[in-house]
Amino acid sequence: MSDIPSTIAAGSTPPRSFGWDDTAELHKCEDGGGLFHNFKTIRRGTVAELVAFVMGLPEAKQDDYAIEKDGDHTMRIGEIRHLSRRADFPAS
């Protein structure tokens, strides 16, 4: 018998929530050389902490930052704002 669980009728597992506690880096985006030119790491923390940090900045400065989640996904200000409005966004 296999140790691999079946996926048939696997509806009892609750849906996985967004990875708010995943590690991430906040980057300052410098203009001039393309999308990833001179990304400078400003701080590290969880996705939730960094989204809250960016949203706490003056609106005119928010577009200067991007969040890199676990090295596999870069979030710009549109996605950061969307995440901050989600019902499951952890309150600080």
46-72: average pLDDT: 92
CA distances to 10, 18, 19, 78, 87 from 64, rounded to whole Å, are 43, 24, 23, 12, 25
**Mean of the pLDDT values across residues 67-81?**
90
Mean pLDDT of 84-88: 94
Q: What is the pTM of this model?
A: 0.73
Residues 49-61, mean pLDDT to the nearest whole number: 95
**What six digits make up the tokens of 63?**
């577009």
Residue 54 lies in a domain: yes
In a domain, 56, yes or no: yes
Q: 79 in a domain, yes or no?
A: yes
Give the three-state DSSP class for 4.
coil
Domain span holding position 80: 23-84
Convert the pLDDT of each residue in 1-53 to its tens digit: 445 555 555 555 555 667 899 999 998 887 555 555 556 788 999 999 999 99
Domain count for the chain: 1
Tell me what pLDDT residue 9 has: 54
